Amino acid sequence: MEEFHWKAIESCNPTYDGHFFYALTSTLIFCRPSCASRTPNKKNVQIFYSAKEAVNSGYRPCKRCKPDCLEWQGAKNELTIQVKKYILNHYDEKLTLYRIAKEINVDPYHLHRTFKAVTGYTPLQFMHQSRIEQAKEFLLTTNQSTTEISFKVGYSSPSHFSKVFKEKTGLSPSFFRSNFHN
């Protein structure tokens, strides 16, 4: 193992992801250089230049950094993707940070902090934006009242729906419909 390998492993440097993998002879697990697991004992580290090479040598992929998945984007991005999918699939239900965290099996504080760090906005802001986008679709394609639409997209109060809609679009739901409906 060369010194740059060790420095990349010690600092969890994502720059080297895909260039090499490190395996631990003590656990028979191999990881990406960016893996957030504990820094290994240097004497237990073996370097491989492909995931296939590590697997063929008897090592199994780490469940944290998933070195065998080419499309894996890192734990923070994966968590953010999970949260977005959950919100998009359940936008019409009563959602709280705690419910989302429980469904995804993570700490609510960690979920909130990670989501905001990756996206620049909170899960609540994403939920409202998702609901408003769906409401815009309903306003343009159906004849349902704004009250019906507000309930359909997950708001329990039509006035709260109208307030959030105006904050996000600059228009009231009825003005939006009358000016953009074909």
- Provide the annotated active-site residues: 31
Give the integer Cα–Cα distance in Å for 81 and 134: 19
CA 158 to chain centre: 30
In angstroms, the CA 182 to CA 165 distance is: 20
> To 5 degrees, how large is the angle CA 8–CA 114–CA 41?
30
C-alpha distance from residue 17 to each of 53, 91, 94 (Å): 15, 35, 39
